[in-house]
Structure 1
Amino acid sequence: MTSRRVATVLAVALLLTGAGCIGFITGEEALTYSAERATVADSALGDGATGYTETTVEQRTLEPDGEELGIGNRSIVVENWIAQYEKQDDFIDETVGVFAVVSTHEVDVIGQPANPVANMSEDEILDQITGQYETPYGTLSNAERTDTLQATMLGQGTDVAVFTTTTQFSGREVEVNIYVTMVKHGDDYVIAIGGHPTQLPDERDNIVDLIENVEHDDEE
């Protein structure tokens, strides 16, 4: 082996060791990615603003299939955050709107992007989020895209996909609009998803306000 080849091998080994990847490369340990928390600013919540209140903010751990990500049988752990909000109408004692923010870290294995969220359409994101997290949205498998809105989230202009479907909402079957958008912010992907019955069209403005008031701990 030439001296140049030896130097290259040593440089790569030092790089992997410094990045904490040796255990992952040898299969001895999982490679862990932790997202920073994303929430809605307090100023956008409550009766003086959108009327939404925070219900839960928690970290969720996922273990994607390495084979599906193209990295063999190596183990990956992705620690995501999900913050959920609801709007309650006390007069009719029902939930009239829901909103959630999910942050997931960019997964980059030896220079190869591996987080499936990066290349997902809004339709796929909708299926992914409602499939992984227990939310008030119910089954949305027949959601049809009906509109696209423009909003600014975390300082970036973004398309907000609007879907319409019939689902279980507040204990009965109703037609709802669902809103989905995502931006890359720092090392994380931040996803916002909200919904309300179509009989309450004014909630659209509140959903957009929530999207535009998302905060993320990872400052670029």
Structure 2
Amino acid sequence: MKHFALLAAALLALAGPALSQTVLSQTAGWGPGADDAAFSRMLASSFKGKGVATIDRLTQDETQAFCSNPVLAASPAAAAQRQRIEAANMATVKWPSDGQWLGDWKQGEALAQSGRGNTWSDKADTPNGGNCYNCHQISPTEISYGTIGPSLTQYGALRGQGEETLKAAWAKIVNAKASNACSNMPRAGHMGILGETQIKHLMALLFDPKSPVNAQPGPTK
């Protein structure tokens, strides 16, 4: 959390000198090396649980705490710790219960398009979306997509459906931190955002030869 400190101080300054002085006076300072106790108290008092959006989301696990420290996360000296965190995340990956990797690519496309779910206004039984287009190009016919993650166009066509390839893609969707401790990709399966059947549909979107993801591009005119 320490790298959030300067941002928090700036926000407090905008909120007004009285509030800024009240909070800042409770700490020895902000920035690297500062005590995070006041910042943690501010988070706890500012966020309230409502519906499915519960306050426990503010509690970091070991992976999140490690990656929230940019100096530590990028340090060569922390390589062993990164590897241990990745191994711990890999150990949480649950493989398909019936041995089947692929579902329905059409439902996978709908999931990739949907960013709905896990907000205070959502019911507990509302299916979550994958929000995949927010970070990836997927189907070549969709022109609105993010670029934080790599393009997934031609994903299956280029890689085939070997067991190791399928396992790697499945693990990436379930828990991306298993292969990259500080990946920007959310742990969709591990965090309960997506269920097994939904993950199968996304796998089909990536690997099914009939999926538009794997359509062969036409000749350039």
Q: Same fold (TM over 0.5)?
A: no
The TM-score by the shorter chain falls in which range?
A: under 0.3
Pick the structure with more strand per residue: 1
TM-score normalised per structure 2: 0.26
For normalisation by structure 1, the TM-score amounts to: 0.26
